[in-house]
Structures are given as structure tokens and as C-alpha cells.
Amino acid sequence: MKIIADAHIPFLKGVGERYGEITYLNGNEFTRETIQDADTLIVRTVTHFGEEMLEGSKVKLICSATIGFDHIDTAYCQAKGIRWANAPGCNSGSVQQYISSVLIEISRLKGFSLEGKTIGIIGVGNVGKKVAKIARLVGMKVLLNDPPRQRAESGNEFTDLDTIKREADIITFHTPLTKAGQDKTHHLADEEFFATLGKKPIIINTARGPIVETVAIKNAIRQEKISGAIIDCWENEPNIDLEYMKMVDIATPHIAGYSADGKGNATRMSLETLAEFYGLDKTPILKINIPEPESPTIDLNSFPADKRIYHALLHTYSTQADNDRLKANPQNFTYFRERYPLRRENIAYNVINYLPQEKEILQDWRFRL
């Protein structure tokens, strides 16, 4: 089998070779000519795969090591008999870790307690459900908005967007990017959205850049319709709006889902799809090995007595370094993504010297005890 894979997919080299002859390309090196003879593509979101790329090729399978799939022309693939697969939920734990960090950091920056605040979660899939869990763990009131799920499920778990706009102190987006239909999310946060907010919420976008209209949110910041913004996903990446970047409180280069655990999950899921499609042995996939963190033991006694678990969470990941790097050198947006340092999720850390009343919440945060 001939496989062409994005060179920046982690933990693939040395394992993927067990399934065929692999050529590794940078994202911008995927062209109609370079993929002509490939049977399988293992890709990320940096290149669009549709007729202009795939017509006349031998490609039978596209595995995207990402949660999103708007970079794949799924209708074209279906019409041509090309199987495609993404990796849903692969990085949900990583985004959960990112949201945990930024909630703590923004509450300290703005001088408020998370407990009792209302968070509106727009999009309650693999990621949104985990964000809801951590929000409840810190004592927040949670409002959930997911029209497709609301239509498909009974019960009163969900609320409408107007309620979230009226009541939420923090609004966070976790939807896919859809450009048409009744559940269109492209520019969901537009001028009208910001003009009809009941409070002055903090906006968080870790989903897709175009969900939040850049001009609209810049106006909302200037006019103080919102009290803060945490932006990981941007329109026109990697050529992001520099004025916008400087205006937000925390700016990161689309890395919320970039934990090593999330990347390992995505690579694993892609290879599992490949093995299933061609009827091959999955045993080589067990060779994927994620490095341990530099300091895997967290001693709660090393932190101040107040909110020791918050300190433990920030020990696993703080956005400060990512924010500082991007704001200092925004032209290196792609570089920061492709050479992202090792970040492990809570499950990779062992916590010691915890109190009995801290044990359950540490377990809920998925720390090792």
C-alpha cells in the first residue's frame, strides 16, 4: 500500500510503516501531482481535499487525524467512492484541559470567583460535554445549547441561544463549522449576537475561527459589550487579524486540542480506520508511545492552602507561554502549531499529599492518585 501522510502528525513514524510505504509531506506539499498514486492519505486540516485535489487519483481512503472535517469535500468523496474518516472526540480531553486553565486564569485576571457564575456552552458534543463537567466541578451554573441534539433527544437539558445571551457570564463555543442550513454556525457570533447580549460576558472560541465574526467581536470589545475574550481559533489562519489578537485577553495559535494525549488519540484512530478498511492487523497501533511529562508528580503541599487543586491544574498546563509566544511573534503562527511542545493531560500526573476532601474532585479531574 502507498500511504502519503502529513509530516507533522505525531507518533506516526515508525508505526505507520507497518502498514505500507509511507511518504511524509508538509501540508503545503499535498498537490494533485504528489498524491496521484497514493492509496491512502493521512492528513490534517491545513489542506482542502476535493475534486481539484483528488480527481484522477488512486486514493481510496482519507484519514484525517483531526476532530473537524470541513477540509474534506465529503459529497465529492461519497460520489467517487472514496472513504473518509475523521477522529471525533480525539482531543476532547485536551480542550477540556485548556478550558480548565483559561477559566482559572481569566478569573484571576479579572478578579472574580468562578463559583456561582453562569457559563453558556454552545455545542454539546464530545468536547462540550466535558467542558460542562469541569464547569460544574468549579461550582458554575451551566447552560447548554445544541439545537440538533435538542431536536433528537427528549428532556429539558438544553436551552435556547437567547437564554444564553441573556444570562451567561461566560460563553464558550464548541460547535463544528457549518456554512448553511438551519444549524449554520458560520458567523454565529455576529453583530446581532453581540448587540443582544444581556450581560457583558467573556467569549471563548476553541472551535473554529469563522464561528466568531472578527469585525463584530472587535466592535464588541471596543464598545464594551463583552468584558473579555479568549481566542484559540481565528478567521483566515495563519494570517490572523493582528489588531484583534492584541485586543483579546488570551490568544493562542489554535492549540487547545494539541495535548500529546489528543494527538496520540487522533493518530491511533486514523490507523484503526486504515486497518479496518483494508482488513489488517491492529496490533502495530499498540506501539504508539506518548512521552511522560517532565515533572509527573504534583505535591499539593507545595502550593498555597487556598485552591490547591487550581494550582495543580495550572501545573499540567497554563496558557501563559502560548499567549506570550503568539503575541510576540504572530507571524510564526504555523511554526508554533507544528512545533508545539509536549503537553500531557491530567491523567499523566500523579498527585500526592491530598486531603480526604480533595480526593473525589481530583479523581473527577482524572488525576492519578
Assess whether 101 and 201 both reside in one domain: yes
And the C-alpha cell for 22? 509511507
Assess whether 126 and 184 both reside in one domain: yes
Cell 486540542 belongs to residue: 257
Assess whether 234 and 270 both reside in one domain: no
The CATH number that applies at residue 99 is: 3.40.50.720
pLDDT tens for 342-354 read 999 999 999 999 9
Provide the pLDDT for residue 304: 92
Q: How confident is the model at residue 13 (pLDDT cuts 50, 70, 90)?
A: very high
259 within 8 A of 240, measured Cβ to Cβ: no
Assess whether 115 and 217 both reside in one domain: yes
Assess whether 195 and 106 both reside in one domain: yes
Q: Say if 179 falls within a structural domain.
A: yes
Q: Residue range 354-368: average pLDDT?
A: 95
Catalytic (active site) residue 343 = no
In percent, how much of the chain has pLDDT > 70?
A: 100
214 within 8 A of 235, measured Cβ to Cβ: yes
Q: Tell me: pLDDT of 212 over 80.
A: yes
- DSSP of 176-209, one letter per residue? ----SSTT--TTSB-HHHHHT-SS-PEEEE-S-G
Q: Say if 312 falls within a structural domain.
A: yes
Total count of domains within the chain: 3
Assess whether 113 and 48 both reside in one domain: no
Q: Cα Rg for the chain, rounded, in angstroms? A: 21
What single letter denotes the amino acid at residue 269? Answer: M
Q: Tell me: pLDDT of 46 over 90.
A: no
Q: How confident is the model at residue 45 (pLDDT cuts 50, 70, 90)?
A: confident
Provide the pLDDT for residue 154: 79
Of 76, 169, 82, the C-alpha closest to 120 is 169
Q: Say if 292 falls within a structural domain.
A: no
Provide the pLDDT for residue 364: 94
Q: Tell me: pLDDT of 27 over 90.
A: no
93 within 8 A of 262, measured Cβ to Cβ: yes
Assess whether 202 and 343 both reside in one domain: no
Q: Tell me: pLDDT of 155 over 80.
A: no
Averaged pLDDT score across all residues of the chain: 96
Assess whether 24 and 104 both reside in one domain: no
Q: How many CA atoms lie within 13 A of 174 on its CB side?
A: 31
Assess whether 131 and 239 both reside in one domain: yes
Q: How confident is the model at residue 306 (pLDDT cuts 50, 70, 90)?
A: confident
Catalytic (active site) residue 237 = yes
In percent, how much of the chain has pLDDT > 90?
A: 95
Assess whether 263 and 190 both reside in one domain: no
Provide the pLDDT for residue 6: 95
> Strand 228-231 and strand 250-251: pairing?
parallel
Assess whether 31 and 109 both reside in one domain: no
Q: How confident is the model at residue 117 (pLDDT cuts 50, 70, 90)?
A: very high
Active-site option among 187, 254, 325, 337: 254
Q: Residue range 118-129: average pLDDT?
A: 96
Provide the pLDDT for residue 303: 96
Q: Say if 15 falls within a structural domain.
A: yes
Provide the pLDDT for residue 288: 95
Provide the pLDDT for residue 338: 85
Catalytic (active site) residue 254 = yes
Assess whether 127 and 221 both reside in one domain: yes
Q: Tell me: pLDDT of 67 over 90.
A: no
Q: How confident is the model at residue 270 (pLDDT cuts 50, 70, 90)?
A: very high
Q: Say if 340 falls within a structural domain.
A: yes
Provide the pLDDT for residue 319: 97
The runs of H, that is alpha helices, within 34-176 are 51-54, 74-80, 92-110, 126-137, 147-152, 161-167
Q: Is 75 helix (H, G, I), strand (E, B) or coil?
A: helix
Q: How confident is the model at residue 156 (pLDDT cuts 50, 70, 90)?
A: confident
Provide the pLDDT for residue 262: 95
Q: Residue range 94-108: average pLDDT?
A: 97
Give the domain range for residue 324.
297-364
Q: How confident is the model at residue 178 (pLDDT cuts 50, 70, 90)?
A: very high
Q: Residue range 130-152: average pLDDT?
A: 96
Q: Cα separation of 195 and 282, whole Å?
A: 52
Active-site option among 167, 191, 237, 358: 237
Q: Tell me: pLDDT of 245 over 80.
A: yes
Q: Residue range 162-178: average pLDDT?
A: 97
